[in-house]
Amino acid sequence: MTDDSIYGHMKDEGVSRRDFLKMCGLAVGAMGMTSMPPLEASGLPATLNHVEKKSIDHVAKAMETQPRLPVIWLEFQDCTGCSEALTRANAPTLGSLVLDTLTIEHHEALSAAAGFQIEEAKQQAMEKYAGQYVLVVEGSIPTGEHAAYCAIGGRTAEVILKEAAEKAAAIIAIGNCSSFGGLPKASPNPTTAASVTDLITDKPVVNIPGCPPIPEAFVAVITHFALFGVLPELDKLNRPMAFYGKTVHDRCLRRPFYEAGKFALTFDDEGAREGWCLYKLGCKGPTTYNACASIRWDSGLSFPVQSNHPCLGCSEPDFWDGGGFYQGQSAPLQKPSMTTAGVAGAAGLAIGAGMAATAKAKKENKK
């Protein structure tokens, strides 16, 4: 092996200097260090200004000296949606991030090992990288009934979290469940679910909420820590300012309609078809801090409001109990049949009603 640095690892993997610099450029863009011009397919942009060049040099230097960052990823009361979303990150891709900048020492869903084998490997990694690893937590932690609702390898989530947190250099709570309690904490909170910051108070914790969160926000925070050993600037809810400093409403493409007082009143009226503001259908964009309206999802393709869905406020505490558009919409949901109700439950009902509305809109359009 050439050396222990991130660049050393990349060289051993056969990455050329040009591709290395391209990766540095992607990292600069991902961390929001400067607004990079679009990259050409073959590498860096043809022209770079002074600030962009300096930022890339800065990142390249860090990659040439910093070792790869060990990561231990724990999952508790979650749906694995946050991990799933991360596999859609495109800047840099999860593949390049995992292979080049981080070493994921433990992740239940991504690991080939299972049972006692994976638990033993996790213990060994925690010893080997004590004080160096970043602990990533996905899912909330149950504390009721002696914390018995979630146990892995015979130990409760609370015990596992506290043990891993003790030796971590920093902690990232990914998703609303671990940041604020998320769906498991919604009323009546049967497991007395808690967030990471409810239980860990003596270590820096970065919250990256969302359900799931924008993957680029996670990529930026962890790349920043891997390269410079410090966490980015946070807001009062421990969210990185670069991504949660403005509301969805601040940058929403429907904002001109809001200002003009043009609102959709049902999901299939003329306003909805014309792309008018969804505020009167319960949109929480004005009180939700997140970067969806600018970064968007799936390589910048779209985000909920662009796809005719009011913002639910998924990056804010207690958003499920806030009701989102399910409580705020002006048109009442259609009453479901008993069979549907029995099988699907409340969430299924809302989706069913949404599909019915879409079908109706299509029928109207056809007419």
Footprint on this chain of ligand F3S (rule: CB under 6 A): 210, 248, 288, 290, 292, 303-305, 311-312, 314-315
206 touching ligand SF4, by CB under 6 A = no
Residue 359 CA to residue 32 CA, distance in Å, equals: 41
Retrieve residue 285's tokens.
């964009």
Which tokens hold the place of 327?
């409580």
Which lies closer to ligand SF4 via its Cβ, residue 29 or residue 212? 212
Q: Which residue, chain included where needed, has tokens 């909420």?
A: 209
Q: Minimum distance between the CB of residue 207 and ligand F3S, rounded to whole angstroms?
A: 14
**Of residues 282 and 336, the one with the C-beta less far from ligand SF4:** 282
Radius of gyration of the chain (CA): 22
Of 279-298, binders to ligand SF4 (CB under 6 A) are 279, 283, 285-286
Task: Compute the half-sphere exposure of residue 156: CA atoms within 13 Å on the CB side of its CA.
Answer: 15
Q: How far is the CB of 252 from ligand F3S (least distance, A)?
A: 8
What DSSP element (H or E) covers 62? Answer: helix 50-65
DSSP 3-state helix, strand, coil percentages of the chain (rounded to 5)?
50, 15, 40
**β-bridge partners, 193:** 142
The residue range among 112-120, 190-198, 249-257, 294-302 that interacts with ligand SF4, by the rule CB under 6 A, is 249-257
| Residues binding ligand SF4: number (CB under 6 A) | 27
Spatial neighbors of 317 by CB under 8 A, at least 6 apart, are: 180, 181, 237
Q: Which does 258 bind (CB under 5 to 8 A by kind): ligand F3S, ligand SF4, none?
A: ligand SF4
β-partners of residue 171 are 135, 205
255 touching ligand SF4, by CB under 6 A: yes
Q: How far apart are CA 257 and CA 100, in angstroms?
A: 44
Q: Which of residues 64-123 bind ligand SF4 (CB under 6 A)?
A: 78-79, 81-82
Quick one: what does residue 303 bind among ligand F3S, ligand SF4, none, with the CB cut-off 5 to 8 Å set by partner type?
ligand F3S
Task: Choose from ligand F3S, ligand SF4, none: what does 175 bind? Cβ within 5-8 Å by kind.
Answer: ligand SF4
For ligand SF4, the binding residues (CB under 6 A) are 78-79, 81-82, 138-139, 175-177, 182-183, 211-212, 248-249, 252, 254-255, 258, 277-279, 283, 285-286, 305, 311
